[in-house]
Amino acid sequence: MKWMNLWCCSLAWLAWMTLPVHALPAAAQVKPASALSPTAAKRPNIVLLLADDWGFSDVGAFGGEIATPHLDALAARGMRFSNFHVSASCSPTRAMLLTGVDNHLNGVGNMRETMPRAHTGRPGYLAVLNERVVTFSTLLQASGYRTYVTGKWHVGKEPHNLPPQRGFDRSLVQGDSGSDNWETARRYLDLTDKVHWYEDGREAQMPTDYYSSTYFMDKMLGYLRQDQAKPQPFLAYVAFQANHIPLQAPPAFIDKYRGRYKDGWSALRRERRDRAAALGLVPAGTPMVEMASTRHWASLSAEERQYEERRMEVYAGMAEAMDHEVGRLVAHLKQSGHYDNTVFVFLSDNGAEASDPYAKLSGRLWLDWQYKRDLASLGAKGAYTVIGPSWASAVASPLSTYKFYSGEGGIRVPLIVAGVPGVQPGAVHPRFAHVNDLAPTLLELAGLPPQTGSHQGQSVEPMTGRSLLPVLTGRADRVHAPEAAIGYELSGNEALFQGDLKLLRNIAPVGDGQWRLYDIVRDPGETRDLAADMPQVFAAMQKAYADYAQRHGVLPMPEGYDPIRQVEINAFFNVYVPRYRTAFWLTMGVLVLVGAWLWRRRRLRRVSRAVP
């Protein structure tokens, strides 16, 4: 009988240990670090690498000519997602990445800098994470992970939104949309009162000079080395500013590309399209639209072409410099013995940036006061450049549009996942996937269930993404069911994804406000509108989008909204009015006093004249 009891207990223990995570009681799913079992201690480390404003084909493994050997090595080891989507601007993507919740439900329905003032503060339009969402880092931390973040944060500077309150043990972050890459205190535009830096939730003491990509990696490597004796797995989230404006990079990286772009942006767009097709990322001969904002290379003077070439050389150098820092992290993990048990995720927060602040008088006046822009200085400390819409269209090749717009060039970005056991090396997944899918993926890698609407006894917004692991390991051929409808909106530019189809509407100046329908697997360049061929599907998807907008509290844009103009308006009210409020009221007070004195003096004169 004793042997029978022992045998039964052993079977019960074995059955318990082999249950899938979602079948375990909630109390058994998330353990504090002190209660970690030997099995839990073997959970993978997670490295999350977020680039800023990279076009779809910037990475060599996605068809680009820029040298990105370390990212290419991850792609060769793992899987590339060629139909992966984010938001078309920084903070909404970062908010969804952290929470797995649609940006209109997590509080970041728009970026603060481009948000209409009529929307500001409305539900879903806080421009920061609300208190109804839980980050995947919070859940990892609660389960025993060591958690670190360095780089650009951009989801809120309130105490409850800084990294320590969002699940990070150690952090060094820049709080807003960006800053200079050579000088820590220099703003890239007059959009904030100063550059806001935080380390572990407190205002950081920063060096005067640095290079952003190198510094962010230095801090991350410092955190990892300091804690490398600890047995718990780690999350390392490095959010680079490369390639956010201003484009800046060490000269050794820039000069490698001298002469590479002499044939211009249209030639580069075709070259990248053909290489992406050869790599199996887009169909061969994918047709492309030519944006109205793309200038004719042959119409430029020799001096203009030389200047434009250099701008793209700086862009390429900045991207390669970032890849170099990725290589430093990989080398450290190999040296420390963590590489083989680390999952790497790389993505960009949106498509390429086409905006040129010099195109507006207000931007040009401020930038010419703060920065140089002569040819010899581009990329260096104290110099400022952008690639502009023509190069932005090229680096998005073969896609249409760019950052801020809902064409594929604005919201389809490279995604690489490497280090997951069972992944076929070098594989490409061509079906739709979304940034909301990453949080549940990372949680499943850690043996944790997705957050489904409750956290510590409080009701919260549930994660809506789906784990990528079934696709990564070959157990499924789609992340989302063909009938699943996934909506999207940013600044009035809208989309709905369903299977291989995409419903799309862009507002001016890039679009005309009309709905269109595309098959983005066979036609990723969005060149053939299928609305007339599929009228019932077209109508049904418009209804599905309307349902999405209503459920998520999407607000209509004010008449005449223009994102660049809105940046100027918000800068005036958010920066200039607070900055000069005291001087304004003092001036007004003096004017009132002077006016009252003059009025009284004039009145006394009239009275004196009236007396006989």
Residue 596 has pLDDT above 90, yes or no: no
Q: Name the amino acid, one letter, at 321.
A: A
CB 250 within 8 A of CB 210: no
Q: Burial, 1: exposed, middle or buried (Cβ in 10 Å; 0-12, 13-18, 19+)?
A: exposed
What is the per-residue pLDDT across 166-179, written as a single tens digit (0 to 9) for each? 999 999 999 999 99
Residue 323: give the domain boundaries. Answer: 43-551
* CA 592-595-598 angle, 5° bins: 150
* Pair (230, 352) in one structural domain: yes
- Number of domains making up the chain: 2
- Per-residue pLDDT band for 37 (boundaries 50, 70, 90) equals very low
Q: What is the CATH number of the domain that holds 456?
A: 3.40.720.10
Comparing CA positions, the residue from 54, 116, 139, 125 lying closest to residue 91 is 125
Question: Is the pLDDT at 186 greater than 60, yes or no?
Answer: yes
- Same domain? For 291 and 381 the reply is yes
Which residue, chain included where needed, has tokens 């969002």? 166
Specify whether 595 is located in the same domain as 503.
no
Q: Tell me phi and psi for residue 108, to 5 degrees.
A: -115, 60
Q: Are 568 and 360 in contact (CB under 8 A)?
A: yes
Calculate the average pLDDT of the chain: 91
Domain-embedded: residue 2: no
Tokens linked to 549? 């907008």
202 pLDDT exceeds 80? yes
Pairing status of strand 342-348 against strand 234-239? unpaired
545 shares a domain with 507? yes
- Asked whether residue 269 is assigned to any structural domain, the reply reads yes
The whole-number pLDDT of residue 182 equals: 98
Confidence at residue 583, expressed as pLDDT on a 0 to 100 scale: 67
In a domain, 559, yes or no: no
35: pLDDT strictly greater than 70: no
Rounded to an integer, the average pLDDT of 239-266 is 98
Token representation of residue 569: 């308006």
- Considering 533, 551, 569, which residue would you say is the last residue of a domain? 551
Q: What pLDDT sits at residue 572? A: 81
- Are 337 and 420 part of one and the same domain? yes
Parallel, antiparallel, or unpaired: how do β-strands 415-418 and 79-81 relate? antiparallel
DSSP E strands in 468-562: the ranges are: 485-490, 493-498, 501-505, 516-519
Residues with catalytic annotation?
90, 154
Shared domain for 96 and 237, answered yes or no, is: yes
d(CA 265, CA 392): 9
- Radius of gyration of the chain from its Cα atoms, rounded to whole angstroms: 26
- Give the chain's end-to-end CA distance (angstroms, integer): 130
